[in-house]
Amino acid sequence: MVKNYYDITLALSGLCQSIRLVQQLAYEGICDKDALHASLNSLLQIDPPSTLAVYGNNDVALKIGLETLQCILNINHQPLSTELIRYALGIMVLERKLSTNKSALNILGGRISQLDRQLAHFNLGTDVMFSLLASIYTDVISPLGARIQVLGNPDKLKNQLVQDKIRATLLAGIRSAVLWKQRGGGRWQLMFSRHHLLKQIQSILARC
């Protein structure tokens, strides 16, 4: 079957955007707000008509993720890049554990579907929503094992809101990992299909 590398690149960039935002939050306590909204909003797309719809029908919203994926594929062995690779692999491991755990999948689906009631009262980027999304990650994803150890500024990581944002963003990363697998993605692509992915990245970034 011919793979759609545009869709695969979008989903993988969604994952990479999440891990880059996690890194920003861990070291700086803040991150790009527009990119964060695009990542978190992907969690609300339960039955999207397309891969692009998951990210607001705007692939430019994944600019940070595209640039991060490009850096990883170019095998940039800077310390922060190595850290990002570790986060990405950690999310992929958690996605595999989640995909084989029907109970966790059902609970996750139920918790996500309940967010609409909260969104009637609170915007997605409010502290309340960050806390709710973080609790979903803590209750459903963390018990799966293979926890992701986030490195950063200890003073920033002590902040409860920063912790909530990191967990919410990791949850968005897992959502993109699920989408990546659904669209035909696989870890071998990172080794043997780099040129296909890089071509798609360059094409999209040219519009940014």
Q: What is the DSSP string of 28-61?
A: HS---HHHHHHHHHGGG-SS-SSHHHHTTT-GGG
Q: What is the pLDDT of residue 74?
A: 85
* pLDDT reported for residue 190: 76
DSSP 91-138: HHHHHHHHHT-HHHHHHHHHHHHTHHHHHTTS-TTSHHHHHHHHHHII
Residue 188's pLDDT is 77
pLDDT of residue 2: 53
**How far from 126 is each of 44, 121, 123, 156, 170, CA to CA, in Å?**
15, 10, 6, 18, 17
Percent of the chain with pLDDT over 90: 82
| Among the four given CATH numbers 1.10.4190.10, 3.30.300.30, 1.10.600.10, 1.10.3890.10, the one describing domain 5-205 | 1.10.3890.10
What pLDDT, on a 0 to 100 scale, did the predictor assign at position 79?
Answer: 63
Provide the whole-model pTM. Answer: 0.94
pLDDT of residue 136: 98
Listed by start position, the domains of the chain span: 5-205
Regions of the chain where pLDDT drops below 50: 1
> What span, in angstroms and rounded, lies between the C-alpha atoms of 133 and 169?
9
* pLDDT computed for residue 76 by the predictor: 59
Position 146 scores a pLDDT of 79
> Which pLDDT value is given to residue 78?
66
